Amino acid sequence: MGDSKIKALHYFIRESNVGELKFVLEDIGSILGNKDFLQDAEIVEALRGYYESHLSHHELPNGTQVVVTAHGRREPENHKAAEGEGEEEQSPSANPAEFVYVDAAKNVKFSLDVTTGECKVLDDACKEADSDSQAFKEKLVESLDKYISERFKPGTTFGTLSVTGENPWTVHIDISCHNLNHKNFWGGEWLSRWTVTHTAGSSDFELTGNIKISNHYFEQGNIQFKLDKAYDTPVKGTAADGDVAQSVFAQISKLEEAYQNSLEAMYEDISENHMKNLRRRLPFTGKSFEWGVSKLV
């Protein structure tokens, strides 16, 4: 396949809206007459990038819901054989489209075939090597689950997090809400990524992150909007009661709620003060049109 076609397909995949990738791949296959393009290494990388950028949700065969993130990326299943070893030393999987991820909040390692979306459980007992960081992570996961259950529509939102480093710890928190209703021609997502820096034994922490929102309405048209809010300046916090995990999510809740409220105020302002002005109050004749049946026949 030529470079220009690969570039075009890469663009279609990258720009696909949340939950619509399967439709895009089906359409591409119909146009090309086959799905051989899914075997191309650049297309495989584009698909992996799509799943990671949208923090995609997947249900494992054991029923566990996991989130695909760049922080959770591990070596692909089809890693090369060790130098000097034969083919028998390769990974059991020879599928170049299968990659390995860890959802540290669920303590599970899994593989994902980016061409089919199918997942396999590789290890369902992954834990932090350090007992202190594992205990801190468990408190964070508890606060994360509580925050999602209280703030988001059931069944639409999942989160994950990981704790790295050695005093201070760095915590990567990913919250992914996919609200899809394709039968009524709309879908959208709320993705928030947060990084927390915290020193063990301290009540203080720093928080940075960003929120990305995208929506797509496609009933007899194609309307999209995308928003990106960055919190690059560290927000400092202190856990007055010593519960750092709870205080972290209280701060996240405060920032996300403030952003949502600002959006609602913006939309109300647009509706009341701008959109109404786009409507023509009278036709070009300058006279109101009489819509009575007797006037139309």
Q: Residue 226 has which token pair?
A: 């995308």
225-242 confidence digits (pLDDT tens):
899 999 999 999 999 787
First to last CA, the chain: 60
pTM of the model: 0.85
CB 55 within 8 A of CB 212: no
Residues 6+ apart with CB under 8 A from 147: 159, 175, 249, 252, 253
| pLDDT attached to residue 64 | 94
pLDDT band at 79 (very low <50, low <70, confident <90, very high): very low
For 186, list phi and psi in degrees, rounded to 5. -155, 160
Q: Residue 179 has which token pair?
A: 């609200």
| pLDDT attached to residue 114 | 96
Query: What would you measure as the largest C-alpha separation in the chain, in angstroms?
Result: 91
| pLDDT attached to residue 283 | 65
CB 167 within 8 A of CB 133: no
| pLDDT attached to residue 84 | 42
Q: Residue 258 has which token pair?
A: 């403030």
280-292 confidence digits (pLDDT tens):
666 666 666 666 6
Q: Where are the beta strands (DSSP E) in 182-222?
A: 186-198, 204-217
Strand partners, 181: 186
